[in-house]
Chains A and B, each alone.
Chain A
Amino acid sequence: MEKFIKLTDTAVPLPIENIDTDQIIPARFLKSTDKQGFGDNVFRDWRYDHEGNENKDFVLNDDTYSGPILVAGDNFGCGSSREHAAWAIAGYGFKVVISSFFADIFKGNALNNGILPIQVTPEYLKELLQTITDKPDTKLTIDLENQILTSPAGDLEFEIDPYKKVCMINGYDDIDFLISKKDRIEAFEQERSF
């Protein structure tokens, strides 16, 4: 997993609430057996019409907006457990998603793929969306070490599980950790009484 320490860049506004994983990556694109290529189809049915032509009014097709930070409406990533959604977000080039609420499974999947989900207050989100929509060259800074998001909407201290923070900063993942617990796990299997 790629390390994440600090990032300063522009952001893309997507002010839609309840963006579910079927919108992030429709099921018909889940037939691949590797993790590559999902970025091409992220938000597929909003990005393209049925003939495969770009929908000009969708933000990812608007040259005005670019950057590795996605700022989205409340309850982002609800629905299925498909990690393909996180692979699609990462594959497109997003490293941070900011929203006022994240669905559990998506949040975990994002963290396991080096994407930082940052939860902000609804008021902060509203102001941030307005700012980046009006001024697309606005730069945001995400300092993971100090857990600070800096934007014209203000400096905001965001939360992250301390263990996950260490993983993100060092590029570690859970498998390494769990394997290091092998003896403890085997002892548990021997001891369990039910």
Chain B
Amino acid sequence: MAGKTLFDKVWDAHVVDTVPNGPQVLYIDKHLIHEVTSPQAFSELEERGIPVARPDQIVATADHNTPTVDQHLPVRDVLSRNQLKQLTENCEKHDITLYGLGHKYNGIVHVMAPELGITQPGMTMVCGDSHTSTHGAFGTIAFGIGTSQVAQVFASQCLLLTKPKSLRVKVNGKLKPNVLPKDVILYVISKIGTNAGTGYFCEYAGNVFEEMSMEGRMTVCNMSIEMGARGGMIAPDQTTFDYVQGRKFAPEGAEWDKKLEYWKTLPTDADAVFDKEYSFDAEDIEPMVTYGTNPGMGIKVTGTIPDKEDVNLEKALAYMNFKKGESLIDKPINYVFIGSCTNSRIEDFRIAANFVKGKQKAANVNAWLVPGSQQVAKQLVEEGLDKVFTEAGFALRQPGCSACLAMNDDKIPEGEYCVSTSNRNFEGRQGQGARTILASPLMAAATAVAGKITDITKQLN
């Protein structure tokens, strides 16, 4: 019998029951919730008179629909204020831990949970948010769910699921200087497309991922959903264990030793077989930018927009106001956003600050920096990065999802381009008519300084 994959091992350890010729009942270790996708699930339970089964396995935060300025004041938008109030009331009523607006642990759900040690290897984790795949960086089965499923987990701490197929993406070799984890995943998606992973759970393997920090791995796993995969995982190793150990909710003492021993058994067996595999050379990857309206429409910053007959390409370029065959270098950019669950961790800001230090933001650019959590915001100050940014003219805001999905007031105006470290460049994602160019924190910082897209490969050598 062939060996097991990392995914198989974690999945199989959580199967409670199997419906004959049907789905399996999968046990969920941790359930993260936020204000936007939970209220209807709480209502569903109340209508049926069902209690929340395991409130101590749920952690809540407010992130999607929160302002990133003046968080100490009442939220101005009535609908947003009501949504946040409902979350607070629901958590109080059902005895669920909430790190609400202003709390020292508040932040984007996928930044907050790992930094508190809530996310641990070998777990099953869900959240009503497709970027829950982020937590896969720890060797965790983590994926986004709809609100009906949020209600199912509330009611039973389980989900009914059909086991997905397995996919492995390998990247081996040596990355060029200034090629960041964001470039790696944008490159992979540009090669395999936005639905290559649909129906699959992905494992990222190869020395490139092994050598990445946990922050980098989270950036990669975060965007698994952008190639259609429900989730993406990286085998837990010493980097993972060092990151988890000592965090607030991490196991301690004998419990730590026992867990560690188990976590070390999780990596994919050498003889395991995947349903689909892709392999890439690290040397082929360069800093990336997107030119279209889905994350698969990416090119090397030194490259040109594809020149081919394709109605989808034409529709995307009409929206973006770009032309086939052209380069994006020197395109004037008025908005830069560094933030989101993809790239709002301390390492992302260190990279940006390192580039920005001693330089000035271009006069035409509005540069928004939105840390992923209160803890990241605090660390920025402790490391003096806040001064680097403010001296360079960047606007440092308060934590939240912000302009990634523009549910709050952080919207990019119609027709404007935004070089963004977020995960989706869909039409209208960052505001009605806004045009998003996805890139790494380094590309974003360089754009803010130049006021236009620049060839970072030339600048830094």
Contact = CB atoms under 8 A, between A and B. Distances in A.
Binding partners A and B? yes
- Name, among A33, A75, A177, the residue most crowded by chain B CB atoms within 10 Å (CB to CB): A33
Q: Which 4 A-B pairs have the closest CB atoms?
A: A163-B22, A81-B144, A31-B79, A112-B148
Interface of B: 13, 16-17, 19, 21-23, 25, 27, 36-37, 39-40, 43-44, 48, 50, 64-65, 77, 79-80, 82-83, 86, 122, 128-130, 132, 144-149, 151-152, 155-160, 162, 164, 194-195, 198-199, 225, 228, 230, 259, 262, 294, 311-312, 315, 405-407, 414, 424, 426-429, 432-433
Given A83-B147, A112-B149, A113-B148, A175 B427 contact: no
Contacts of A33: 39-40, 43, 82-83, 86
B172 to A, nearest CB: 28
Nearest to B162: A161
Contact of B407 (A20, A28, A182): A28
A109 interface: yes
Contact of A50 (B64, B128, B312, B414): B414
17 contacts: A23-B428, A27-B405, A78-B194, A78-B228, A82-B146, A83-B40, A103-B198, A174-B152, A175-B50, A175-B151, A175-B156, A178-B152, A179-B50, A181-B158, A184-B16, A185-B27, A185-B158
B25 A181 contact: yes
B32 to A, nearest CB: 12
A146 interface: no
A178 B25 contact: yes
Given A81-B146, A163-B160, A177-B160, A27 B406 contact: yes
A17 B293 CA distance: 11
A181 B50 contact: no
Contacts of B36: 30-31, 82
A173 B228 CA distance: 25
Range of interface residues on A (Cβ < 8 Å): 35 or more
B154 to A, nearest CB: 9
Interface string A129-168: 0000000000000000000000000000000011100000
Contacts of A68: none
A181 B17 contact: yes
Contact of B16 (A17, A20, A86, A185): A185
B148 A83 contact: yes
- Name, among A27, A84, A174, the residue most crowded by chain B CB atoms within 10 Å (CB to CB): A27
Contact of A34 (B40, B405, B406, B428): B40
Nearest to B414: A50
Contacts of B129: 80-81
Contacts of B132: 81
Nearest to B42: A33
Interface string A23-39: 10011101111110000
Given A83-B40, A86-B146, A105-B146, 17 more contacts: A22-B427, A23-B428, A34-B43, A82-B146, A108-B145, A108-B146, A161-B23, A161-B162, A174-B148, A174-B159, A175-B151, A178-B159, A181-B156, A184-B16, A184-B25, A185-B157, A192-B27
